[in-house]
Structure 1
């Protein structure tokens, strides 16, 4: 099984036993602020969970959507993902249970996965796209040394309004210097 270990976390392939925790973290009102109502349905996340398990068996593997396991509690507290694209590009994304937020755990997970992407997968450019109003996500991107490359005005429509999105990115040599 694929696994990355940090000081406080284990990042590993999603397992069937992670489904309940994964769906649970996505159902919190704070988590759902930046997703459409249809994207927030429990069944949508059950389907995603199954897809993440399938993706782990792909050859070649292009998606690493991993469960974030807290070493202390041994519980799944979130997910972090790296998706490979053409030209040595990759996107990164994450989600963390509300009760685990504020302790730097998501940054720890993102650093470990970015290190893996740059060092082991040969990623040249790592980027993240998020809703502009998602202050936790934009703060995380900046803490990783990513710079804002784009700001798309009224780019996504859900919850009966238009939302701006932003793209943050970092190049491998910037990561290595960082």
Structure 2
């Protein structure tokens, strides 16, 4: 079983018992602001839990869709992921329970997973794509050292309107230059 330990977190493969907490996070109004209604169906998150568990057994592994567990309580508090692509590229994503936001836990999880990607998987570039209005996600990416590479105007349509998307990224060489 895959796992990374940080000061406050255990980042690990998803387990069946994570399903209810994962579904609960997806049903939070604040979480749903930047997702199409069909993406917020609880049954979709139940299926995603099973998919993430199955992906952990793939050889070679192409997706690290991981649970974030708070070490002090053992509670599932969110997810962080690294999806491997061709040419040593990877996309990153995350989601955190509202009750644990504002405590620097997501930056702790994302840094640990990015470091694993660059150091252990020899990824050349990690990027994230998000809705332009998702200021928290953009701020997180910038704290990771990512720079904005693209801004797509009216790129996604959901909730009755067009949304801009932005792409932020960091290269392994840039990651290695960041202060620790």
TM-score of the aligned structures, taking structure 2 as reference length: 0.98
- In the TM superposition, residue 164 of structure 1 has moved relative to its aligned partner by 0.3
* Cα distance between partner residues in 1 of 2:107 and 2:95: 11
- Any stretches of 5+ residues in structure 2 without a counterpart? none
- Local SS of the residue matching 1:107: helix
The one-character-per-residue Cα deviations of 1:22-49 (angstroms, maximum 9, x if unpaired) are 1111100000000000000100111111
* Cα distance between partner residues in 2 of 1:69 and 1:130: 24
* Cα distance between partner residues in 2 of 1:38 and 1:104: 30
- Aligned twin of 1:57: 57
- Any stretches of 5+ residues in structure 1 without a counterpart? none
- In the TM superposition, residue 73 of structure 1 has moved relative to its aligned partner by 1.2
2:125 equivalent to 1:117: no
Aligned residues: 178
- Local SS of the residue matching 2:87: helix
- Aligned twin of 2:128: 128
2:167 equivalent to 1:167: yes
* Cα distance between partner residues in 1 of 2:18 and 2:45: 11
2:155 equivalent to 1:155: yes
Alignment RMSD, CA only?
A: 0.4
2:12 equivalent to 1:12: yes
* Cα distance between partner residues in 1 of 2:30 and 2:11: 23
* Cα distance between partner residues in 1 of 2:46 and 2:166: 27
TM-score of the aligned structures, taking structure 1 as reference length: 0.99
